[in-house]
Amino acid sequence: MKPRSLVSIDDLNTGEILKILDLAAEFEKEPVQKLLEGKVVATLFFEPSTRTRLSFESAINRLGGKIVGFSDASSSSVSKGETLHDTIRMVSSYSDLIVMRHPIEGSARFASEIASVPVINAGDGANQHPTQTLLDMYSIRKTQGTLDGLNIFMVGDLKYGRTVHSLMMAMSRWNTTFNFISPDELKMPDEFKLYLENLGLRYYEHSDFTDIISRADIIYMTRVQKERFSDPIEYEKVKNVYVLKNAMLANTKPNMRILHPLPRVNEIHPDVDSNPKAYYFEQALNGVYTRQAILCSLLGIK
């Protein structure tokens, strides 16, 4: 039987998502638990990462597991022309679970079909980033006390932003109102809007959000991703289109929180960092607890 992988957020049903969030809350209370003793986890990062790789590695270390892998594919035999197929086949036999980030959409699903161990998608191109979504949901539930009926503003690069694609799909299960704020060039792709339309859910598209900011429960800022543009002139046109500043937050709801998957470039001014509504650094910390919960769930560890 194929092992259970986490490639798309839709690989988990609602009950499984809630179970992971509850388990993450347990790990937040007691992060050091030797539940992965004797297990080897491979972290294969074909694209740069700070938070996803290091929070996974922190999670594995706190659980007593061991790590093999690379943070730069040029140090692996991929640089000699080895295929993803052969790489995954080999690493499957060296590890109990594979965490992989790769620039090509669909690469994680491909890897999960070859691997004899579970594969966790740590981001595949502009497609999906399901573990980011689970930590985002953990952060939303923790700060709002609920996942239900929230008004979520997604701001910035909604075209290439895999974090917003995954989060939108997951939050569509909780009667969310979505406000998509982006320049024309970076609008939410039709396939994701169709996903919401098929569920009968509301979404609104805007090119600016200063006049409606008071309605938001969550503002989810995203970086315009230079690395996804083939034309640098196109990137220059949109790179600073939204910059959230502290003065803009005066009329926001008391419990509104600002999330960002990070890294940020210019889209959140540093003067927001000291505002109690800024939650992005705590959000990144929640990634350790959430990833502990994901690892244990996929490995069937109680």
Q: Which amino acid is at 231?
A: D
Q: What is the size of the binding site for ligand CP (CB under 6 A)?
A: 9
141 or 223, CB closer to ligand CP?
A: 223
The answer to whether the CB of 111 falls within 8 A of the CB of 88 is yes
Q: Assess 263 for contact with ligand CP (CB under 6 A).
A: yes
As measured in angstroms, the least distance from the Cβ of 20 to ligand CP is 17
Give the span between the Cα atoms of 13 and 54, in whole angstroms: 27
Contact range with ligand CP by CB under 6 A, out of 78-86, 91-99, 109-117, 256-264: 256-264
As measured in angstroms, the least distance from the Cβ of 162 to ligand CP is 8
149 or 263, CB closer to ligand CP?
A: 263
104 or 248, CB closer to ligand CP?
A: 104
Contact range with ligand CP by CB under 6 A, out of 14-22, 56-64, 257-265, 289-297: 257-265
249 or 262, CB closer to ligand CP?
A: 262
Q: 285 CB contacts (<8 Å, ≥6 apart)?
A: none
The answer to whether the CB of 65 falls within 8 A of the CB of 71 is no
Q: At what angle do helices 14-29 and 280-298 cross, to 10 degrees?
A: 110
The answer to whether the CB of 139 falls within 8 A of the CB of 14 is no
The dihedrals phi and psi of 54, each to the nearest 5 degrees, come to -70, -35
Q: At what angle do helices 280-298 and 130-144 cross, to 10 degrees?
A: 120
Give the span between the Cα atoms of 107 and 121, in whole angstroms: 9
Q: DSSP class of residue 153?
A: E
Q: By rule CB under 6 A, what string of x and - marks binding of each residue 96-135 to ligand CP?
A: ---------------------------x--------x---
87 or 139, CB closer to ligand CP?
A: 139
As measured in angstroms, the least distance from the Cβ of 287 to ligand CP is 8
Q: Assess 240 for contact with ligand CP (CB under 6 A).
A: no
Q: Assess 156 for contact with ligand CP (CB under 6 A).
A: no
Residue carrying structure tokens 């001014």: 269
Binders of ligand CP among 43-102, rule CB under 6 A?
49-52
The dihedrals phi and psi of 206, each to the nearest 5 degrees, come to -140, 160
Residues that bind ligand CP (CB under 6 A): 49-52, 123, 132, 261-263
